[in-house]
Structure 1
Amino acid sequence: MAAWSSGDERRHLFDLARAARRPVRAHPHRSAERVPESTRRLLHVLATPGPVLGRHLDVLAWNPLAEALLGDPADRPPADRNTVSVLFREPEARMLCPGWENMARQYVAMLRAAVADDPDHPRAMALVGELSIHSAAFRRLWARHDVRENVHGTTLFQHPEVGGITLDWDTYPLPGDPGPVLLVFTTEPGTTDAGRLQLLASLWATRDTAPRRSAADEIRRQPA
């Protein structure tokens, strides 16, 4: 088992023990996940990609640069806007991420950590069940029992417009128990990667943005 996850695995075991002792009727973390309006405003002033992820890694909100880097979540039904599902069920994800295996392993480990808090959560059961049926790669990685909290990492993207770009990512908790997290991609200023990220932003800004803004406005109108 990977050395980086030893501390996370220990917390995972305690979480499982607490979940086992919890009365079946108690579901303290099943309230609807909402993104504060202040966070939505923050997303649209960030000069870097920034999606918001729910407890099971569903994409709840995003900014234009996240759309430029990762694709438009609005192209998928809300139930399919999940980062783990996209990684395993969409071939484009493997093309976008040359280090797909490592990234997929990290996200599966983060999903397992989230599932520990409420193992019979309907969303968790549906997501894990669906991916187990449709993806042998998911079954293989899920069987590793790796556990990781979603804190930080580095990912290489092979973007079709700007080429290879390596970005660091960090997660920032938002209000809630547990609340969503803001996932922010950044890179060192003055580097080739920073130049390519700026180029991506420039290319995206010069496009016909009317349909895309309409989708973004719809997202912002959802209750905070």
Structure 2
Amino acid sequence: MSPDWDPPASAVLTDFAAVPRRERNFMRMLFLDAHLRGCYVDWPPLARTCVGFFRAALGDGAGEPRLAELIGELSLRDRDFRTWWASRSVSHQTFGTKTLRHPEAGRFSLDWQVLHSAHDDQATMVMTAPPDGGTLDVIRRLAPGSAPRASVVSPADPSPDARPDRRW
């Protein structure tokens, strides 16, 4: 659960390169890093879903030493994690929207989706800017040069000039 961090993620959430390698675990940071925790406007339901997804993804692997150590640390240091872990709830939610707050950019949303590899037990979370908000502009402002210059077409504008070129 130590994903590769990209410049937009670091600009939007926290400087992951400054986090000691062993602590670069999203579950650990979500519960124990006050700054990262504070980035999420909707932290309680998001964190509870993450605990359920973590439990579902572990299956029988909870006894693996590093995972057992992480579960133990989170259980001892965070009351919410301890309560939600003890409930034994699982979550198979693989997509949604997160609302974040940033000290320079204010509130904005990111759509997220978890992708699973067919060849191993790896999961990757991909976050994208919703097409109908100012999130892409926020990311461009926070991480200049790292956000693609995609054109976004409003589904509410049916004019031929507003539609992307659909030649294949």
Structure 1 length as normaliser, TM-score?
0.59
Q: Against the structure 1 CA distance between its residues 150 and 80, is the aligned structure 2 distance closer, same or farther, given a 3 Å change threshold?
A: farther
Aligned partner letter, 2:4 = A
Aligned partner letter, 2:120 = D
State the partner residue of 1:118: 61
Structure 1's consecutive aligned runs of 4 or more residues displaced over 4 angstroms after TM superposition are none
SS in 2 for 1:195: helix
Structure showing greater relative contact order (alpha-carbon pairs closer than 8 Å, 6 or more residues apart): 1
State the partner residue of 1:104: 47
- The answer (yes or no) to whether the contact 1:166–1:187 under 8 Å persists in 2 is yes
Report the structure, 1 or 2, having the larger helix content.
1
Output the CA distance in 2 between the equivalents of 1:150 and 1:82.
20
Q: Write out per-residue CA displacement over residues 137-193 of structure 1, whole angstroms, 9 at most, x where no aligned residue.
A: 2111112222113621210000112110111101222464212x2211112335223
Aligned residues: 147
State the partner residue of 2:86: 143
- The answer (yes or no) to whether the contact 2:3–2:124 under 8 Å persists in 1 is no
- The answer (yes or no) to whether the contact 1:173–1:182 under 8 Å persists in 2 is yes
RMSD: 2.1
Output the CA distance in 2 between the equivalents of 1:86 and 1:188.
25
Structure 1 unaligned segments of length 5 or more: list them: 1-57, 206-224
- The answer (yes or no) to whether the contact 1:113–1:149 under 8 Å persists in 2 is yes
Is 1:63 paired with 2:9? no
Is 1:93 paired with 2:53? no
Output the CA distance in 2 between the equivalents of 1:147 and 1:164.
29
Is 1:196 paired with 2:138? yes
Output the CA distance in 2 between the equivalents of 1:154 and 1:201.
21
Aligned partner letter, 2:100 = F
Same amino acid, percent of matched pairs: 33
State the partner residue of 1:83: 26
State the partner residue of 1:37: none
- The answer (yes or no) to whether the contact 1:59–1:73 under 8 Å persists in 2 is no
Aligned partner letter, 1:199 = R
- The answer (yes or no) to whether the contact 2:14–2:36 under 8 Å persists in 1 is no
Is 1:153 paired with 2:96? yes
SS in 2 for 1:167: strand
- The answer (yes or no) to whether the contact 2:100–2:108 under 8 Å persists in 1 is yes
Output the CA distance in 2 between the equivalents of 1:119 and 1:94.
24
Structure 2 length as normaliser, TM-score?
0.77
